[in-house]
Amino acid sequence: MSAEEEKIVWKGRSHQIVNFWPLIASLLLISLICVASYFWSGWIALAAVIPLFYGGWLWLGTKLMVFEFTSERMRIYEGILNQQINEVELYRVKDTRLEKPLWLRIFGLSNIVLQTSDRSLPEVNIRAVRNGIEIREKLRKQVETLRDKKRVREVDFESSDGGDGDFEADLI
């Protein structure tokens, strides 16, 4: 760690609206199972545990996924039983994109998609967050500040022959 203390720029999580349709399907299935158990056998009601568990698992997974931007890096905390922490240095962010589909705009939410040069995490999708424009702008400014501080520039090399960009050494 450098002489400066690493500071949190933004910390947040996705909105539960990302689970809307799976949760609605789970509730409908639970209702269907309860109606079926009323008309046939009460033991069928035990099958309602499966969609209930599925819906709870989705809800908890979204609740426990936390995105954190610091002055140096981005961390993604995820996992229910075992927490996994993924990190990307901010200077490795190549491009940021803000997506506002109609479904999310209704609720004042947006998606932020980050393209990185990190091989372990080439794309980060932060789904359904409030104030997406402000978050993206904070992130963009922090990336530029960090690149200037470290004197780092992102350069993409593309092949002109339409290949995949890999270079082969000529044998002499």
Segments making up each domain of the chain, as ranges: 8-150
Query: What per-residue confidence (pLDDT) applies to 170?
Result: 40
Taking residues 64-78, what's their average pLDDT?
94
The pLDDT tens digits of the residues spanning 47-59 come to: 889 999 999 999 9
Q: Token match 């998609």: residue? A: 113
Which residues make beta-bridge pairs with 126? Answer: 112
The pLDDT tens digits of the residues spanning 27-47 come to: 999 999 988 888 888 788 888
Per-residue pLDDT band for 151 (boundaries 50, 70, 90) equals: confident
Per-residue pLDDT band for 168 (boundaries 50, 70, 90) equals: very low
Per-residue pLDDT band for 111 (boundaries 50, 70, 90) equals: very high
Picking from 134, 68, 126, the residue whose alpha carbon sits closest to that of residue 99 is: 126
With 60 as the cut, is the pLDDT of residue 2 above it? no
User: CATH number for the 8-150 domain, one of 2.30.29, 2.40.128, 1.10.3470, 3.30.450?
Assistant: 2.30.29
3-state secondary structure of 37: helix
For β-strands 109-116 and 93-99, DSSP reports them as: antiparallel
Query: What per-residue confidence (pLDDT) applies to 167?
Result: 46
Query: What per-residue confidence (pLDDT) applies to 154?
Result: 63
Query: In sequence order, what E strands does 4-152 have?
Result: 8-12, 66-70, 73-78, 84-89, 93-99, 109-116, 123-130
Query: What per-residue confidence (pLDDT) applies to 43?
Result: 83
Average model confidence (pLDDT) for the chain? Answer: 87
